[in-house]
Structure 1
């Protein structure tokens, strides 16, 4: 079977929450082997767009089509780190939809969990309670949990926020390995410099898609000004901005 031309297609999607248009007429794609960065200011609709892909919010207009399983890495504060479970258990929970609520894991579920732990560099921490983990270790747990579902498409919501440099480097290496395998990644981030280094393509979002292109787009002062309202000095400095 030939590989799909794209793993995600979002076409003219609008999302209304609480009577307010949060996303308007947004279109984007993610193809196999791509790491696509989604950047924009606070309230731009980035997380909402990810949730529309997951079916957690319903578009008021437009369509979302994803091919195969989709993995989701939420922002770290969205996970219950005080839950009494170890690292392996947390990663295994990424297979809940496959296993079912009242069934035990099968051999393939255990194998997928072990592979995800290894990919995220967590094998040696498998029995550690998640409440005892550092911020970087917690981020790796969330990535491994998403990978346990064996997704072709991975959605990442601010994966680099609040993690140390070694964790950033490990994640960058992992994301490169995943794209080399033909998986597609869509990542929200507020770090322009990191996006310029790691993304194969970037999309500027401010309720709607303002611009898209290669990482060099992040050095385009006019487009950055349109997306973020930055002055020209900030837009060309590669400085971190809140998104």
Structure 2
């Protein structure tokens, strides 16, 4: 029976039968998979704690009955405990997990998605006071990864560099960019600072922003996610 060793983040779990659990994992090598851990709900099980939601783990997998993968061994690499012990932080992490889970089919997504999720969790752990910016960072990069990147460099109509233009900019969701105030425009209006911050996030630059800019960043990413994924995210209602 072929065994596979990989690294994964635990996305969710459900109880199965009397003592088992089925876990949804985002793995580095296999994408998103389901795998069963037998006996993990028994009091004597030593694996349960390592398989908590959000945990970064190393797992040994084999093919179980019915073709479902089985978790044979697991060891914890990072529990991100600081994110779990705070309701506000854990809620925002749950939103990121739900977004990724609901937009990824079984076996889908890539090593890039795994690396992005781990990077988000590490940033959120290190800069907990900037968790909202970390969430926006994840959203922007995840949209890019899924083929919905946002042009924050030039006006999508006149092609002029946005940094060289004055005035506000208007989001054109269907064309994935912004229109300057000199061109015919419709759509939501955003300040140059918002567009610059979106560009910085895309280039892996994170810096403090004021409350208004943070609010507008959320409007941009929410509009893009709703347009391209058309899903209901329950955890978003708690943010």
Q: TM-score range by the shorter chain?
A: under 0.3
Query: Higher relative contact order at CA 8 Å, sep ≥6: structure 1 or structure 2?
Result: 1
State the structure with more CA Rg: 2
TM-score, length-scaled by structure 1:
0.27
